[in-house]
Structure 1
Amino acid sequence: MTKNKSEKKSNKPEKKKNNSRGENKRMKKEAMINAIINVFKSSPKEPFNYRQISSMIGVTNQVQKLQVVDILYDLSSDNFISEIDRGRYRYNDWGTTAVGTFIRRQNGKNSFIPEDGGTPIFVAERNSAHALNGDKVKIQLHAKRKGADPEGEVIEILESSRRTITGKLQVTKGFAFLITEDKTLANDIFIPKDKLKGGKTGDKAIVRITEWPEEAKNPLGEVVDILGTAGENNSEMNAILAEFDLPYKYPANVEKAAEKIPEAIPEDEIAKREDFRGVTTFTIDPKDAKDFDDALSARKLENGNWEIGVHIADVTYYVKPESLIDREAYKRATSVYLVDRTIPMLPERLCNQICSLRPDEEKLCFSAIFELNKEAEVQQSHIARTIIKSDRRFAYEEAQAIIETGEGDYKEEILALNSLAQKLRERRFKDGAIAFDRYEVKFDIDETGKPLGTYIKEVKEANKLIEEFMLLANRTVAEFVGKSKNRNKKTFVYRIHEQPDPEKLRDFSAFISRFGYKMRTEGTKTDISKGINDLLDSVQGKAEENLVETLAIRSMQKAHYTTDNAGHYGLAMDCYTHFTSPIRRYPDIMVHRLLERYLAGGRSVIKNKYEEYCTHCSDMEMVAANAERSSIKYKQVEFMKDKIGQVFDGVVSGVAEWGLYVELNENKCEGLVPMRDLDDDYYEFDDKNYCLLGRRTKRIYRLGDDITVRIVQANLEKKQLDFTIV
């Protein structure tokens, strides 16, 4: 199949000048095999396709390129390399045993991920040694059968991962079970009566697995905590947090430590700082926000320019390294935002009181101060510890009303800030920033947490005003360290977003061409990002808008934290960090501490240690996002459970081997049409073209297709809506 695909590629004649130079001189097959083997051995973790291999070994002749395809196929059959996705191979560099992570699946399709990030290995349940999801294990590789996927057997559990599972208790006379909802465990957990901790049938509970005897079908466990009655909002939200191993209550000793922190600011501390208490300053935040970690000050200078201060809560003045509060904040790494609540990174006394930049209160800040001319060009800037006193707290809606009407408190400052922000934004997009302004669906919920309806959160000028000045501050701070003229660059925490994978971009470009769209996949970074922006503009309001935007985002890399500065592709910035939200993100706390150290002329910190911190924060950011999505999913099912049998129009939002995901137009709730319900034909999943294809009828269900469905089931325990096609 790969061979046929390669034969369809360009049939342009080779340029004669290449032949005259002898560049197309035939390479003998043996030499070609050795050259290909050396490429894989020299870069054991890198995947390559036949084009890349051909280029690297100097093959330019089309006939020999086809030979490369055949050799890759043979090496894959010999298990020397693995095809990690269509046409892309990576070196198999393990021996008969390997160490890595065990991934458990409820459907029994367990797998093993080698430590070096190699190809996943299938582990049948009978060969799992009852390893749990996330365990570090050693496996024995089975001899590979011709045409079969490689298999392994767990021979040792080296490190146990999280052993707690969330579910619903079922208590009988002599014993009890936890009916698990975990997608990684198909087996319920047996609990002896004396390990129930007072739990009753129907209680939502967290259970720790204590033992899983070799011959036993079910693991044994003990109740760690009772979360409440299943179905109650608090119980379910806490269960979601527990499922992702996130804390659902704040440790009492950490809260006590926070209570001891004095609110009064010592006079000698004020004397060390730039004083902005007399400068017009305000916050602009969501109407329900309590933790105000950024404020803007604005004053017009005699030369007609504006001095803008981006003032960020000085959390590190109060939270000292390795203190009880600091250790808890690092462990959490981020605040978590579920549908109906915030689980803060810092104790409430700090995040909502002492550090929060509330109006009419003197507050300590770390600030980036800019002088901007009328074209929003930075004339000069500096970073300083400051003291401020906010004059007014605006909700986004209030600031937006001033922008739209030109009337209201501090209208001169707000209108000037908005004008400057729009020019900063315009220049950013001209430099190649990408405009992913996707809508965000929110729930209207009552005081009990019950969802009453959905609405789309609008992003207007007031939101963009704040965004632009936060981006400016983040970039300025990153450049202060990253663009330092010192020969030895100091270790710093960057927020990076790497360029899209060229192959993913080519696949994306090929896919959208069927809708009549073209997009550049080669050229400078700016050329490519401009092409993406033009595409996103051209699909606005079209039937395929959601499809194209979704796939464009999937073709991008994921932003993360690291000490290696690679720039931020999506924002078109060479240097970028997170400085503006230390109340809710631990990387910002690290940035504040490093900034204070380097402003004082301090030496560089240990890079490896900070890279480890960055990895932890990136991982926790992902966990928090998954928990948030899970809470949204739960509320979607809760909202739709009284609409069984009703018919809705929607769009295919996802395609998988187990069915079609459909997003409803009216309320943006998403559900699944299971493959078993597509009973008019046998459908095959085509991952390359994001579709299901009927073998007999040739009927196609494709990502982005309009579709009408009926609500069949709303399963709260599985957080799943089931639809059927009308």
Structure 2
Amino acid sequence: MGTKQRIAEIQQAVLKLVRSPDYSPLKPKAIARRLQLSPDDSALIKKAVKKLVNAGLVAFGSGHRVRAATAETAASSKPKADFITGMFRRRASGNGIVRPDADFAESFPFDEIHIPAEWSGDASSGDRVRVRLVKRRGSRGRRYGQIVEIVERQTSQFVGTYFEQDGMGFVRVDGNVFAEPIYVGDPGAKNARPDDKVVIDMLRFPNHFRDGEAVIVEVLGPIGKPGVDTRTIMRQFDLPERFPEDVLEDARRQAEAFDESIPPDRLDLTGQTIITIDPVDARDFDDAISLEQDENGFWRLGVHIADVAHFVKPNSPLDREAQKRSTSVYLPGRVIPM
């Protein structure tokens, strides 16, 4: 079954759930668990929900929870000339910009829309938002707008440093994502200690008029402790820590089925001397070189690249995982392979 067809089936399942009388708004991941989706299908839930939102069939409510669309939200999903959707980036000052989606490239002559802090709502950097254009023009012809809807959250989890103040727990999120610390409840939640690096899940995103609130979901450890920086980077950029079991099983099946014979449509170079330049403890022998002299005395340097695609069938667990891991990530003392 193709990915598009499966997304369409998931959309129908989500619609049926959201429109059921006993449904309470849930986040996409919680919907995937409620529908008992497989790990592969769970990876498609965001795309399915996004399509439903764009079609005006469902909407995001408080806490990025999915709810049934009302007549008002359905109407607001229809494109209008004075509304633009795009990616939001917040600056350290609290103001931000929105870069319009490619769909608006021809009809909208500006590369970015300037969003004053008081008009940014609870949008966070990386969120896809819907902007109402305003008549206000700034210096150098800048175009301004006001965020009226969060179309899709980039994430609800952030990494930061835990501290306590006035008998309450707070987390200062890394980078310039939020101007103010985020309240995380009573001191010592999840046994967190001051100066620990932690992962939080947002319950309420902050805006220009209201502080944010979150819960600690993981304590990574004290600042400076070996390994904590690496785990911090992995959580901050949502890097995969392990291969899913279905991917490992697919790899085992492909290894067991491997046939060393060379079919007629492949070039047989097994008679040449081809060497790798990897150290003895390397795990990925993915390229090699050869050198030979032709009859005219010229040297031919050959570069040989592993044909990984030979083992990866389209839409297989290996294929889907490969799309998520487009490159290897090298961290101190650790490599997250592609």
Report the TM-score when normalising by structure 2.
Answer: 0.62
Q: Distance in 2 between matches of 1:147 and 1:303?
A: 67
Higher radius of gyration, 1 or 2? 1
Tell me the equivalent position of 2:177: 184
Q: How does 1:468-617 map to 2 (within 5 A)?
A: none
CA 1:145–1:172: 2 relative to 1, 3 Å: closer
1:235 has 2:228 as partner = yes
Q: How does 1:93-242 map to 2 (within 5 A)?
A: 95-115=81-101, 116=104, 118-144=110-136, 149-170=142-163, 175-193=168-186, 196-212=189-205, 217-242=210-235
Tell me the equivalent position of 2:326: 333
Q: Distance in 2 between matches of 1:195 and 1:328?
A: 37
Alignment check: 8 A CA contact 1:182 1:243 kept: no
Q: Which amino acid in the other structure matches residue 234 of structure 1?
A: G
Q: Distance in 1 between matches of 2:262 and 2:301?
A: 21
CA 1:114–1:311: 2 relative to 1, 3 Å: closer
Q: Distance in 1 between matches of 2:227 and 2:254?
A: 30
Q: How does 1:231-630 map to 2 (within 5 A)?
A: 231-247=224-240, 249-253=241-245, 254-259=247-252, 261-262=254-255, 265-267=258-260, 269-270=261-262, 272=264, 273-285=266-278, 289-300=282-293, 304=297, 309-338=302-331, 340-345=333-338
CA 1:167–1:302: 2 relative to 1, 3 Å: same
Q: Which amino acid in the other structure matches residue 283 of structure 1?
A: T
CA 1:315–1:119: 2 relative to 1, 3 Å: closer
How much does 1:283 deviate?
1.4
How much does 1:171 deviate?
5.2
Q: Distance in 1 between matches of 2:190 and 2:126?
A: 27
Q: Any stretches of 5+ residues in structure 2 without a counterpart?
A: 1-79
SS in 1 for 2:232: helix
Alignment deviations for residues 214-247 of structure 1 (CA, whole Å, 9 cap, x no partner): 6863222233433332223421123223333333
Q: How many residue pairs end up in the alignment?
A: 250
Q: Distance in 1 between matches of 2:91 and 2:280?
A: 42
Q: Distance in 2 between matches of 1:308 and 1:109?
A: 54
Alignment deviations for residues 439-468 of structure 1 (CA, whole Å, 9 cap, x no partner): xxxxxxxxxxxxxxxxxxxxxxxxxxxxxx
Q: Distance in 1 between matches of 2:85 and 2:128?
A: 7
> What is the identity percentage for the equivalent residue pairs of Structure 1 and Structure 2?
35
How much does 1:293 deviate?
1.2
Q: How does 1:9-24 map to 2 (within 5 A)?
A: none
Alignment check: 8 A CA contact 1:165 1:182 kept: no
Alignment deviations for residues 300-337 of structure 1 (CA, whole Å, 9 cap, x no partner): 45665656543221212222222222211101211123
Alignment check: 8 A CA contact 1:195 1:223 kept: no
Q: Which amino acid in the other structure matches residue 274 of structure 2?
A: T
Q: Distance in 2 between matches of 1:274 and 1:150?
A: 58
Alignment check: 8 A CA contact 1:195 1:222 kept: no
Q: Distance in 2 between matches of 1:195 and 1:313?
A: 51
Q: Distance in 1 between matches of 2:151 and 2:84?
A: 12
How much does 1:132 deviate?
1.0
Q: Distance in 2 between matches of 1:225 and 1:260?
A: 35
Q: Distance in 2 between matches of 1:276 and 1:321?
A: 27
SS in 2 for 1:112: strand
Alignment check: 8 A CA contact 2:329 2:336 kept: yes
Q: Distance in 2 between matches of 1:222 and 1:171?
A: 14
Q: Distance in 2 between matches of 1:344 and 1:146?
A: 47
CA 1:281–1:264: 2 relative to 1, 3 Å: farther
Q: Which amino acid in the other structure matches residue 328 of structure 1?
A: E
CA 1:340–1:190: 2 relative to 1, 3 Å: same
Q: Distance in 2 between matches of 1:135 and 1:264?
A: 44
Alignment check: 8 A CA contact 1:204 1:229 kept: yes
Q: State the structure with bigger RCO (CA 8 A, min sep 6), 1 or 2.
A: 2
Taking only aligned residues, the RMSD between alpha carbons, in angstroms, comes to 3.5
Q: Distance in 2 between matches of 1:330 and 1:157?
A: 26
SS in 2 for 1:111: strand
SS in 1 for 2:154: coil
Q: Which amino acid in the other structure matches residue 211 of structure 1?
A: R
How much does 1:282 deviate?
0.9
Q: Which amino acid in the other structure matches residue 200 of structure 1?
A: R
CA 1:288–1:99: 2 relative to 1, 3 Å: same
SS in 2 for 1:239: helix
CA 1:296–1:215: 2 relative to 1, 3 Å: closer
Query: Greater helix percent: which structure?
Result: 1
Alignment check: 8 A CA contact 1:178 1:190 kept: yes
SS in 2 for 1:282: coil
Report the TM-score when normalising by structure 1.
Answer: 0.31
